[in-house]
Structure 1
Amino acid sequence: MFKPQISSLQECSYNIKTKNNTSVMKGDILITNGTSLNGFTGHTGIAVSSNEILHTANKNSVPEIISLNEWIETYGLEAPDEGFIPTNTEVYRLENINSSIFGVYAELAADWARANYENSGYEYQITTDLFTTNPTYCSKIVWQAYYYAAGQWGPRFLDIPITNIPTPYGMPTYFKNGFELELITII
């Protein structure tokens, strides 16, 4: 587990490297257990650049873009050993990101998320309506970004969850037809 060797997180700048020795990329999906209920519900966001994550945290928040450093400070570092579950963030990426279609698809998903949710002020509420943007929740944003980025091909690339509620931990299972996600790193 990555642990900064400094006295204060505010003094730290994280340089996360994946197993392929690259940084977090636009379109990457971040899934963390560093949320309420000791990680039971999970939380997810989408990288809209190599150092910005779009997410919505809870019922008291709206979709926002935060820095990768802020994400890591909030969700990615191991919790103190006081009976808490150690927290981490798993970073997922389309398996064939270096092919032209997969790279473009991830970038289009990130662009769609930014265009539709940045500064939107949309309310946080978990609903079974997957195809509207307001209200929304974290995993709905990520699911929609990849679904709508594919245009008319969305249904061929992503499954609709049986409950119509995509979950953070379920996110890697919704991709199909060779568009599977690969676990890149854990932070």
Structure 2
Amino acid sequence: MARNKQLWYIIDTQESIFKGRISKRSTVDNKRRFVNTVKRRDILVTGRGIGGLVGHVAIITSDNWVLEMKGRPGWQNGIKSNNRQINKYDWFEEHKSDWTTVYSCPDGNVARDAASWADRKYYNPQNGAKKVIHVTYKINTDMRSTNPSYCSKLIIQAYYFGTGKRKVIQDAIFDRIIVPTTIPMYFRSSYKLINKGKF
């Protein structure tokens, strides 16, 4: 009996170590896949909310940088200067436990224009590396103003106002709060987002 218990303990310990190694390797592999997949203009959607909404969303404004309105506890009263750029490697580290779905607009020109608009309106008017625009995080239904704002408002505005005369986003965005995980449903059929994978 004692021998069986000892054998079980050894097997269990070895399995736990083995699972730990697989998990660590899987995370490393997943990170490699993520950073090699995401490109400028992609939209990143996670299921875990940070600022009072279900889920979170951001946009890649260059091949290495993610622009977002992060939110955090205390969002109900507004959070000053909450807009930020974060390296895509760091984005993965912050969201590796809640999975990120990567979406891409099929029209590359539209997507680039949207990413550039987001950068100019939410970070630096010259598309520079230094943050010179400071946006307060607050959930609101005013889609025409960029300050205050929140994560999914940033994305929808970029594709609605930043794409010239092209009708990319449905007009149903006005006077409502946009939930991050519902972003794809606001794109018109000719610009339907492509799901590039979950990481």
**TM-score, scaled to structure 2:** 0.72
What's the CA shift string for 1:84-117, capped at 9, x where partnerless? xxx11100012x3xxxxx1111111111111111
Q: Say whether the 8 Å CA contact 1:33–1:40 is kept in structure 2.
A: no
Between the aligned residues of both structures, percent identity stands at 30
Instruction: Give unmatched runs, 5+ long, in structure 1.
Output: 79-86, 97-101
CA distance in 2, matches of 1:36, 1:149: 26
Specify the structure having the higher radius of gyration (Cα). 2
Instruction: Provide the rounded CA distance (Å) in 1 between the counterparts of 2:146 and 2:197.
Output: 29
For the residues of structure 2 that align with 1:52 and 1:139, how far apart are their CA atoms? 17
Partner in structure 1 of residue 176 of structure 2: 164
**When the two structures are superposed, what TM-score results if normalisation uses the length of structure 1?**
0.76
| SS of equivalent residue, structure 1 residue 16 | helix
2:112 pairs with 1:107 = yes
Task: Give 1:1-187 correspondences, 5 Å limit.
Answer: 4-5=24-25, 14-17=31-34, 23-36=37-50, 41-58=54-71, 59=75, 60=79, 62-75=82-95, 77-78=96-97, 87-94=98-105, 96=106, 102-118=107-123, 119=131, 120-153=133-166, 156-159=167-170, 160-161=172-173, 163-187=175-199
Structure 1 counterpart of 2:128: none
Please give the alpha-carbon distance, in whole angstroms, between the structure 2 residues aligned to 1:71 and 1:3: 19
* 1:12 to 1:92, Cα distance in 2 relative to 1, 3 A: closer
Tell me the C-alpha RMSD between the 2 structures.
Answer: 2.9
What are the ranges of 5 or more consecutive residues in structure 2 without an aligned counterpart? Answer: 1-21, 124-130
Q: Secondary structure at the match of 1:183?
A: strand
Residues 134-143 or 114-123, more deviating: 114-123
Return structure 1 stretches of 4+ with deviation > 6 angstroms: none
1:50-80 residue CA offsets vs partner (Å, 9 max, x unmatched): 22110011134511110111111111x13xx
More helix by share: 2
Aligned length: 162
